[in-house]
Amino acid sequence: MSAMSPSRRGAGATLAELVVEHVWDVLRGPSFRFVAATAAAFVVFFARAPGPWVNPVFFAEDRDWTTLLVTHGFWHTAFHARPDYAVLGNVAVLWGGMRLCDLAGDDVLSIPRYQALVSYFAFALVVSLPVLLLRRRLRPGALAAVWLLAVSMPLGIHSGSWSGYEILGRANNVGFAALFVAFLLVWVRLTTHLRPARAAVIDAGLATCVLTNPIATALLPVAAWPALRRLAPVRDRAGLRTAALAIVRDPAVWTLAAAVLACLAGNGIPTAVAHGDRTALAPPMPFDRAIECGLARSLFYSLSWPVYRWLNTDRTVALAALALWLTWRFGLPRHRWLYAGGLGLLALTSATLVFKRPELAAHLGDYRTTFPDRYFYAQYLVGLPLMAAFATDLGTRLAARPRLARLPLVALFALAALAVVLEPPGKIADSQFIVDDDGCFSRSAARAVALGAWRGADGKPAADGAFVGIPAHPSMPKEILLPRAAVERAITAVGASRTPPVLTAAAPATSPR
């Protein structure tokens, strides 16, 4: 027995070493880093904006789209919630919150709390995607800087405006982030050898982004460039035939074609649709406001936000010109296509806001406020990997001087530290409680049940309706429809079926500008 012990110990040691080695490989792997980054971002976003969890309400479109989910189902809501384009990603967040509420065994009145959790997760997933998708394109330090800048992105949370209330923890503004995700997917598609399975996953993700944010449609022709460039060297009819056959036989072309067809089926041909009376009646955006909206707040906000209050029209134009010159002069030639594509996408988004949403001029305050941040945070995110690529290029050019080569990356981390100082996580902002529920929704639900506020799927009163119409909030009296049986069970469970609603709950403390 004693003679066998060393052998057993040797075998045990070898097995332990193999386990440790395997665990270490997993911890070093890209999948684990992505999961860890997502989990950490979830915690940061929750700490930055806990209001939707602490003070859950059905807010704005979240209320209307949840009603459609309850009455008409997922696919109808995703493609018909808006008259002009699909909102697949937003609806997926709301639907996920409803399913999570079911899994948790909580009552139907708690749905907005779980929708908030899924929203935090969605934003965390989005800002962590570069860690996974760009790991072979940017250095680890640059990816870490991009992640830190993304999770600490300025959102006006401590400004006292609506900006800190309507983004993190909400689903209605998740869709703007689809532009950033589409940009990452196209970057990967253009720089990767596309196996059929990989192409299918990328193109399915790209279609989802377009069916969430129609501006991402502009990236579809760019995604087709690897196939189209095969036609560039063609000089005769035989060469054209050979190139065309190669394109037709490429599985990546077919997956992209399927994505384009899905986008056309979901969104139709892109057209200009008015955004209500405010857009129709608003005059063209004045030049100074257009510079503030299009350049300072959109095209170059990733760079301009630390000095935003110092800017004016002349300084903004000068800063933009300097940034463009530096990028072209010191960026490596192999990344110029990336800079041109990224800045082109940001320019398109800026032009869309300036010319199609002129009413935003009324919210811009001569560089004194960043409201409404929801229209601009996606552009900020798109700019981050461009800044990281440029910092990497500068480091490469300065490789002969190691100390100087580190400075561009250090500058990115310094920006992230400044963002954390300006909007520190864990410091509860007043803007988180612009609309205070204080149990009002539960009492309104009890009142609706007591009064028999039954509704049909069309929202009209019906004595035998399967739904109950509940005012979402005294300051937002539009009804949300929830399943009648589920609401009755929830009211019975809390023993509040006869409690009248509190109609004096806090109205918005700060009105949107």
Per residue in 462-471, pLDDT (tens digit) is: 988 899 999 8
Predicted local confidence at residue 511, as pLDDT:
35
- Strand residue runs (E) in 313-461: 454-455
Angle at CA 94, nearest 5°, toward 79 and 430? 125
Angle at CA 430, nearest 5°, toward 499 and 109? 30
pLDDT over 80 at 19, yes or no: no
d(CA 364, CA 444): 36
Predicted local confidence at residue 498, as pLDDT:
44
Each residue of 277-298: pLDDT tens digit? 555 567 889 999 999 999 999 8
Query: Nearest-CA neighbor of 118 among 89, 159, 158?
Result: 89
* DSSP reduced 3-state for 181: helix
Query: Nearest-CA neighbor of 111 among 73, 63, 144, 177?
Result: 63
Each residue of 46-59: pLDDT tens digit? 999 998 998 888 88
pLDDT band at 262 (very low <50, low <70, confident <90, very high): very high
Q: Which of 33-42, 84-93, 403-412, 472-481 has the lowest mean pLDDT?
A: 472-481
* DSSP reduced 3-state for 112: helix
The answer to whether residues 152 and 423 touch, using CB atoms and an 8 Å cutoff, is: yes
| Residue with the larger pLDDT of the pair 328 and 494 | 328
d(CA 302, CA 391): 13
Name beta bridge partners: 72.
none
Query: Nearest-CA neighbor of 358 among 308, 293, 424?
Result: 293
Q: What is the mean pLDDT of residues 344-351?
A: 94
Predicted local confidence at residue 158, as pLDDT:
80
pLDDT band at 182 (very low <50, low <70, confident <90, very high): very high
Cis amide linkage into residue 83, ω under 30° from 0: no
Each residue of 444-485: pLDDT tens digit? 888 889 889 999 988 899 988 899 999 887 777 788 999 999
pLDDT band at 74 (very low <50, low <70, confident <90, very high): very high
Q: What is the mean pLDDT of residues 195-201?
A: 91
| Residue with the larger pLDDT of the pair 146 and 445 | 146
Each residue of 116-126: pLDDT tens digit? 999 999 999 99
The answer to whether residues 306 and 422 touch, using CB atoms and an 8 Å cutoff, is: no
Q: What is the mean pLDDT of residues 70-90?
A: 94
Buried b (16+ CB within 10 A) or exposed e, 192-225: bebeeebbbebbebbbbbbbbbbbbbbbbebbbe
Helix (H) or strand (E) segment spanning residue 39: helix 30-48
pLDDT over 70 at 6, yes or no: no
| Residue with the larger pLDDT of the pair 404 and 498 | 404
d(CA 476, CA 507): 9
Residue 106 backbone phi and psi in degrees, to 5: -90, 165
Per-residue CA distances from 326 to 330, 332, 394, 398, 504 (Å): 6, 11, 10, 15, 56
| Residue with the larger pLDDT of the pair 269 and 355 | 355
The answer to whether residues 502 and 443 touch, using CB atoms and an 8 Å cutoff, is: yes
The mean predicted confidence, pLDDT, of the chain is 86
Predicted local confidence at residue 271, as pLDDT:
62
Q: What is the mean pLDDT of residues 72-89?
A: 94
Helix (H) or strand (E) segment spanning residue 469: strand 467-473
Each residue of 224-247: pLDDT tens digit? 988 887 777 777 777 777 778 878
Q: What is the mean pLDDT of residues 351-378?
A: 88
Q: What is the mean pLDDT of residues 263-276?
A: 72
- Residue 482: CB atoms within 10 A of its CB come to 24
Predicted local confidence at residue 275, as pLDDT:
55
pLDDT band at 185 (very low <50, low <70, confident <90, very high): very high
Predicted local confidence at residue 170, as pLDDT:
92
DSSP state of 461: B
- Residue 32: CB atoms within 10 A of its CB come to 13
286 alpha carbon, distance to own chain's centre: 29
